[in-house]
Structure 1
Amino acid sequence: MVRHAVFALGLTLLFVSQPLLALTQLKASLDKNPMLLGETAVLELVADGDVSRQPDFSVLEPYFEVQGPSIGQQMQVFNGQASRTTSWRLLLKARDTGRFVIPAFTLEGVSSSPIEVEVQKAPERSSQNKELLFVESSLEQEKLYVQQLSYLTVKIYFKGDLQRGSLNEPKVAGLSIEQQGKDQEGTELVNGERYRTFTRRYRLIPEQSGEFTIPPAILSGEMLDRSTGRYDYFAQTQSVTATSNSLTLRVEPQPVDFPGDWLVAGLVELTEEWSPAGTSVRQGEPVTRTITLTALDVAANQLPDLPQTTPDGVKLYREQPQSKQAERNGRLVAQKVFSMAVVASKSGELTLPEIRLPWWNAKTNQLEYAELPAVTLQVAAGENTGADTAPALSTSPAVTAATTATSPWAWTHSSSALFLLWLSTVALWVWQALKARAVPQVSKTVTEPAKARMNPKKLQQAAHANDAALCRSWLLDWAEQYFGERPHSLSQLGHWCGQDEFRQQLEGLNKALYQPGSAPWQGKALWQSWSRLELQKQSSHARLAPLYPNM
């Protein structure tokens, strides 16, 4: 009992000790707009604070019959911080038809937005049976290009109690049709009658040109028959069906003069990041360039590769591109991330040419280009590096081997050594892959820290054996578990961790992978630096960057 009393007292002190936050937001909403004359709508006003005063609702009385308000208060505690909301709910019944403005309400210097509401005359009742259920289908665009993504909408209108229902899935040869997001529930006025609605959206991609007919959507379900019983448990259900209209879609072929890989979208954008930032680099030392291709109304698998050229004096070591997609405001947004290590093999000024990606603007119906300007690098001479020295053979899976033999067909002792090194690398990859298959997959529901799920001894053994490739592989696997997303490079991992000592060790590991031979790499310091990491789990890396920040 004493323990419970102490706990209750501590909880009370926690709540009392939280400062009363100043009111910063006041929101007003109406659940029916337009509304019918004679029906009741709910007006709700919500303040983000503990408010003792009540707004003046008398301004509504000239236009509405007002009941209420009912007042509600809520409090939440998150990470030791308390937040409070106060809400007022009123029932409004319009006195006449027309357009009216529910004025802004003001509390403590904060005002809500006014609401313009339309009141329509209710339809006259007749002995004719009103339609209880119907379905409508619509296309956002009735004319598309091949591979152009668009949206098909199926909306169910019903009155009464729809107990259950099933909607057939649209299937058309030559069209890829997949459901987009979840079903949305709402209400809508149709010819003066208010219906409840369920809306289902599909994304549609034509795979070939020509004319297509999308068959009607068919709803089969059961509705409660109120005439057979006053209460739900006495009332019987009746089977109902409804069929929508069919649709015609015309698909045009790709323009014959389109340059490059075909890409049709609502918007395309290219952005880039350098790690470390800046255009000053050192000869033979890798820097990471990450280019992100973002497109609106495009699926992730439709995004093409980038048209890139490599100038003399620069080596590019590309990693496998990563693609992802997400729904934003009912539309599909896709991204493709290209990450590469850039190594300058000679000093001086080097220019990476501009990148121009052609795409077809579906809104303006014309050719456009997404562009990244040319980048000029100032390359300082590296230590113990000749002017034209290329990176030596790397045991990293991300780096392609390069030989310095005079003739590509001459077999020398160096060739034998390189061949044996290559065989050992392949054997190491196979051993790692077989070992990874033998390890059971960890359930995603486990909430233990990633350090506990992965065996740190593997990193310790690889570091003490000075195995740079195995250390890189383990660290990237660990980062994928810990942050929820696999980093594109060791430089990006260092940026995520944000600790200088560990970042310096990763840069040394990068140099060992991309420029071996300059000095023997020692992995013990990397292991010690990783062991001292203190991180907080982050999930923001796995989110799709906003295409429209202000939407």
Structure 2
Amino acid sequence: MNTIKQLLKPELEIRFIAYLVFFLLLLLIFAPQSTFAADINVSVDRNPVSLDESFQIIFTATESPDDDPDFSPLEQDFTILSQSNSSRSSWINGKASKTIQWTLNVMAKQAGSLIIPPVKFGNDVSQSSTIMVTKGAPNKAVNTDEDLFMEVEATPENPYIQSQVFYTMRLYTKVDISQARLNEPELADAVIERLGEDSSYNTQVNGVNYSVTERKYAIFPQKSGKLTIKPLVLTAEVVTNNRPSFNGFFNSQMTKTKRVESKAITLDVKPAPVSFNGKHWLSAEQLVLKQEWSDDIQQMKVGEPLTRTLTLVANGTTVGQLPELNTTHTNDQLKAYPDQPVLKEQKKADGLLAFREEKIALIPSKSGSYTLSAIEIPWFNTKSQKMELARIPETTLTAVAVAGTQPAAIAPAVTSAAPSKIETGPVIKSEQQTNIWLWVSVFLAAGWLMTVIIFLTKRTATKPVIENNDSETSLKECIKNLKNACANNDAVATKNALLEWGRQKFNVSNLGAIAVFCDARLRDEILHLNQTLYGKQVGQWQGKKLFQAFTEHKAREKIAVTVDKSLEPLYRL
């Protein structure tokens, strides 16, 4: 009998598992479709666009939608020229991800603010979006008989110092190009960053069809005054219609070399406005300052860390212009341990996005309340042309003692309770020694005074001028050597140039000491160079960021001097 039960038991278990699997399958089959709806985003390759230009509408999904898309709602306001789709799968940190894209090349049928309507993918629906379509540009003063020509523009042409300038290059072609070389924009005393990938579209110029390749840069001038962006030069191999006189396999097409040049653009860079009263000049289109805490700030535990995260995100500026955030002073009862800041830059089509994050671990040594002062960052809004203030208000922390720990306040009580007689002996002895050291101090002071008098009488009047000129020349030579070393990504030569610059500028002889005198971005780059040279992990070092930070540091020093001078009359009585 027991044997029969033992045989039936596995059979019942198998049947139970089968019923369970069948029930789960029914749930999956009859589950509401909205639970598994694919999220389909829509975007455009640029905005705004001209009425006579084509552009791309891109639909992106992270999972397969219910069915193929129906793009017919788009035909009301747009002409679909072509379409394509692609998919990409990846496996990162044990997680699979999938991206599916549908790309439509379209042209608008009318000008104005047009709505890209939702598109159905079976039961799934994409989001809607808007795009601004401007009227076609008037006839351009160009020779449409040319196979290709290039135009450039800078916006704005009269920016403030260290503010973002959009520099756009457009190459118009109506012939095939086998290969081409284009130089990068050049501007002395400026930081230049390329924004995103090139975009391609079709347009009409004076009634002639052209294919356009557009490239964007962000330029941040580092000094005020007239600055000229040199012309861009394109050298292209243009495919001709002529065929070789013999039918050769390797000579199926002929090319000719063509060279085109853009115009030069002059920027009229304005200095920081006199009304700006911040310590560090900072201009941006948008700026956000925030803080986060790892736990409840009203229930800090004595002896345990609480992490404060400060984040500054700015649109239209470089990460080197973002100031240091953690300026709060703590005491022995509240210790602060900051981490290395996290610095990031995102180069988007609509400008440069700078990100700075600082994490600070705070550890209280006794219970009670602690007040952190407010953090204020004045900045200049380049859109509204007004000064604004990003602010984190004063923050109060409350620390509570953990059960079983001894309050730190006992230590001072023991010291104050010590008998006063123990201090009597040493006090009398110090009074006897004071007279001896007093005479020694008087003697040394007299000797030092005589030395100064002799030095001043023997010094010539022209010597300081010569030394200053030599010093300025030598500093310029150091900066030139630093620029060349960074351009060649030579870490050792960069270190030597920095050491010579630091020796003359600050009278220090190591990278760590030089970093102390620099602003946050340059200090971080110098410490990164030091870690590359002497750290355990040896990697390829790139010098572009260090010299960019160095250039911004020099510009910020000049701006600070200018601002101080301009603000000086405000404090006079």
Query: Aligned runs of 1:310-329 on 2, under 5 Å?
Result: 310=329, 313-329=333-349
Q: TM-score, normalised by structure 2?
A: 0.51
- Secondary structure in 2 aligned to 1:145? coil
User: Match for residue 358 of structure 2?
Assistant: 338
Residue 384 (structure 1) aligns with: 406
Shift of 1:294: 1.5
Q: Is 2:221 the partner of 1:191?
A: no
Match among 106, 130, 145 for residue 130 of structure 1: 145
- Of the candidates 246, 265, 273, which is equivalent to residue 255 of structure 1? 273
Which of the numbers 203, 213, 218 marks the counterpart of 2:233? Answer: 218
| Superposed counterparts of 1:15-94, under 5 Å | 24=38
Point out where structure 2 has 5 or more consecutive residues left out of the alignment.
1-24, 137-142, 413-429, 431-529, 541-573
The reply on whether 1:206 has 2:221 as its aligned counterpart is yes
Task: Establish whether residue 234 from structure 1 lines up as the match of residue 252 from structure 2.
Answer: yes
2:152 maps to 1:141? no
Give the AA of the match of 2:409: A
Aligned length in residues: 372
Deviations 1:315-364 (A, max 9, x none): 32333323221224442111222222213344222221211111111111
Question: Paired residue for 2:304, among 285, 289, 304?
Answer: 285
Alpha-carbon distance between aligned partners in 1 of 2:231 and 2:287, rounded to the nearest angstrom: 34
Cα distance, 1:387 vs. partner?
2.4
> Map of 1:319-468 to 2, 5 A cutoff?
319-381=339-401, 383-387=405-409
> 1:351, 1:374 within 8 Å by CA — same for their partners in 2?
yes
Aligned counterpart, 1:168: 183
Is the 1:159–1:195 contact (alpha carbons within 8 Å) kept by the matching residues of 2?
yes
Distance 2:254 2:208 in 1: 25
Quick one: distance in 1 between partners of 2:258 and 2:102?
40
2:346 partner letter: A
Residues 1:170 and 1:354: Cα distance change in structure 2 (over 3 Å): same
CA distance 1:385–1:437, shift in 2 (3 Å): same
Q: 1:165: how far off?
A: 1.3
2: CA distance between counterparts of 1:284 and 1:29? 50
d(CA) in 2 for partners of 1:209 and 1:80? 50
Q: SS at the partner of 1:143?
A: coil
Name the CA distance, whole Å, in 2 between partners of 1:52 and 1:376. 55
Task: Check the 8 A contact 2:65/2:121 in 1, yes or no.
Answer: no
Misfit runs of 4+, over 4 Å? 19-31, 33-36, 40-61, 69-89, 91-94, 97-118, 229-233, 436-443
Residue 346 of structure 1 contacts residue 388 of structure 1 at CA under 8 Å; is this kept in 2?
no
Amino acid at match of 1:323: L
Contact kept in structure 1, 2:310 and 2:359, CA below 8 Å: yes
Q: Against the structure 1 CA distance between its residues 53 and 207, is the aligned structure 2 distance closer, same or farther, given a 3 Å change threshold?
A: closer
Describe the SS at the equivalent of 2:320. helix
Are the counterparts in 2 of residues 287 and 343 from structure 1 also a CA contact under 8 Å? yes
Q: Does 1:276 align with 2:291?
A: no
Note the C-alpha offset of 1:160.
Answer: 1.4
Deviation of 1:277 after TM superposition, in Å, equals 3.8
Q: Which amino acid aligns with 1:387?
A: A
- Decide whether the 8 Å contact of 2:151 with 2:262 is kept in 1: yes
Note the C-alpha offset of 1:161.
0.4
Which secondary structure state, in structure 2, belongs to the residue aligned with residue 301 of structure 1? helix
Are 2:148 and 2:173, in contact at CA under 8 Å, matched by a contact in 1? yes
* Structure-2 separation of matches of 1:166 and 1:105: 40
**Inter-partner Cα distance in structure 1 for 2:295 and 2:315:** 29
- Report the secondary structure of 1:200's partner residue: strand
Given that 1:149 and 1:298 are in contact with CA atoms closer than 8 Å, whether structure 2 keeps it comes out as yes
CA gap of 1:323–1:388, structure 2 versus 1, over 3 A, is farther
Whether 2:193 is the aligned partner of 1:178: answer yes
Equivalent residues in 2 for 1:479-494, closer than 5 Å: none
CA contact (8 A) 1:307 1:357 kept: no
User: Per-residue CA shift, 1:500-549, capped at 9, x if unaligned?
Assistant: xxxxxxxxxxxxxxxxxxxxxxxxxxxxxxxxxxxxxxxxxxxxxxxxxx
Residues 1:320 and 1:239: Cα distance change in structure 2 (over 3 Å): same
Residue by residue, what CA displacement relative to the aligned partner does 1:71-99 show, whole Å, maximum 9, x if unpaired?
Answer: 9998979899998989899x9999xx978
Larger Rg: 2
Shift of 1:25: 6.9
Equivalent position SS for 2:159? strand
Alpha-carbon distance change, 278 to 107 in structure 1, aligned in 2, over 3 angstroms: same
Q: CA RMSD in A?
A: 5.4
Q: 1:198 to 1:319 in 2, by over 3 A?
A: same
Tell me if structure 2 keeps the 8 A contact 1:181–1:330.
no
Structure 2 CA distance for partners of 1:74 and 1:363, relative to 1, 3 Å: closer
- Structure 1 residues 277 and 198, CA gap change in structure 2 (3 angstroms): farther
* 1:445-504 Cα shifts (integer Å, max 9, x gaps): xxxxxxxxxxxxxxxxxxxxxxxxxxxxxxxxxxxxxxxxxxxxxxxxxxxxxxxxxxxx
The one-character-per-residue Cα deviations of 1:239-271 (angstroms, maximum 9, x if unpaired) are 112222221211111234522111111122212
Q: Is the 8 A contact 1:345 1:388 kept in 2?
A: no
User: Match for 2:311: what amino acid?
Assistant: T
Shift of 1:59: 12
Provide Cα deviations, 1:167-202, integer angstroms capped at 9, x if missing partner. Answer: 122222222323333333333332333322222222
Q: Choose from 316, 320, 341 the match for 1:301.
A: 320
2:522 aligned residue: none
Unaligned runs of 5+ in 1: 1-16, 122-127, 391-409, 411-432, 444-551
Query: Identity of counterpart residues, as a percentage?
Result: 26
**2:329 corresponds to which letter in structure 1?**
T
CA distance in 2, matches of 1:44, 1:56: 12
Paired residues for 1:481-520 under 5 Å = none
CA change 1:23–1:326 in 2 (3 A) is closer
- Aligned letter for 1:151? F
1:156 matched to which residue of 2?
Answer: 171
